[in-house]
């Protein structure tokens, strides 16, 4: 059994009971404790975390083609231990997926996930307006121990319309991930007028939007990535 916790908002603490496998961003390990001798080891994930060689090979090709490639390492935990992970002082957000829930996440924001998550890369149409192209990484729960840890530049904001049925609108370049049953992809809303083309653009010409029936949780960071479409004329 694995349990994820945050330490001082900037580090991930993973408590292991028994023998388990963990997938983590390569180089993210910072410390560990175990009774007796060290009982955990690291190995590079050459193709991908998928269970079969064929799926791992296809997944590796898809990640390279779409730009969703992220160096991962496999942590073999052989007994009770506590290990810690972090990346460049970024904030850590933990989510425990329920049955059938899927996280759609930018690959650069993945810190760690358990082997009870099915990992894949899929194409989405909305990505053409953001910095990451037409694909996103997905992690889908297939067991009770499906934990995901993601990274945020600064303290994140979590928005959800699961209970409220409110419409959620966000800047695509600030999105870390969205979570829901199924893929719950957003739609694009654009705010472009004649003012946009005479240098009077607001800088917020398009957004990702989820309607009230989407039943989605969206995590955003207080920092926009460089990218996206900037439409104006000086």
More confident residue, 214 or 27: 27
What is the structure's pLDDT at 79? 95
Given pLDDT bands bounded at 50, 70 and 90, which one contains residue 224? confident
User: Where are the domains positioned within the chain?
Assistant: 2-220
CATH architecture assigned to 2-220: 4-Layer Sandwich (3.60)
Given pLDDT bands bounded at 50, 70 and 90, which one contains residue 47? low
What is the structure's pLDDT at 178? 93
pTM: 0.81
**Distance between CA atoms of residues 101 and 86, nearest Å:** 25
3-state secondary structure (DSSP) of residue 139? strand
What is the structure's pLDDT at 15? 98
Task: Give Dmax (Cα) for the chain.
Answer: 70
State mean pLDDT over 186-215. 66
Given pLDDT bands bounded at 50, 70 and 90, which one contains residue 153? very high
The pLDDT of residue 222 is above 80: yes
Is 27:151 a contact under the CB 8 Å cutoff? no
State pLDDT tens for residues 52-89. 544 444 444 444 544 445 788 999 999 999 999 999 99
Q: Which residues pair with 158 in a beta bridge?
A: 219
More confident residue, 204 or 197: 204
């Amino acid at each position: 059994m694995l349990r994820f916790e945050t330490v001082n908002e900037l580090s991930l603490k993973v408590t292991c009971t028994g023998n388990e496998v963990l997938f983590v961003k390569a180089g993210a390990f910072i410390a560990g404790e175990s009774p007796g001798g060290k009982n955990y080891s690291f190995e590079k994930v050459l193709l991908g975390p998928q269970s079969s060689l064929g799926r791992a090979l296809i997944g590796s090709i898809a990640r390279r083609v779409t730009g969703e490639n992220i160096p991962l390492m496999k942590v073999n935990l052989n007994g009770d231990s506590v290990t810690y992970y972090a990346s460049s002082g970024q904030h850590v957000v933990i989510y425990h997926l329920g049955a059938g829930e899927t996280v759609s996440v930018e690959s650069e924001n993945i810190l760690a996930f358990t082997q009870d998550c099915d990992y894949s890369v899929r194409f989405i149409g909305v990505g053409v307006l953001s910095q990451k192209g037409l694909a996103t990484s997905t992690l889908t729960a297939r067991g009770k121990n499906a934990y995901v840890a993601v990274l945020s530049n600064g303290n994140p904001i979590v928005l959800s319309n699961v209970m409220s049925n409110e419409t959620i609108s966000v800047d695509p370049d600030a999105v870390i991930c969205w979570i829901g049953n199924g893929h719950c992809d957003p739609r694009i809303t654009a705010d472009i007028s004649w003012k946009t083309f005479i240098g009077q653009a607001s800088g917020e010409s398009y957004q990702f939007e989820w309607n009230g029936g989407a039943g989605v949780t969206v995590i955003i960071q207080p920092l926009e990535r460089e990218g996206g479409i900037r439409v104006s004329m000086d």
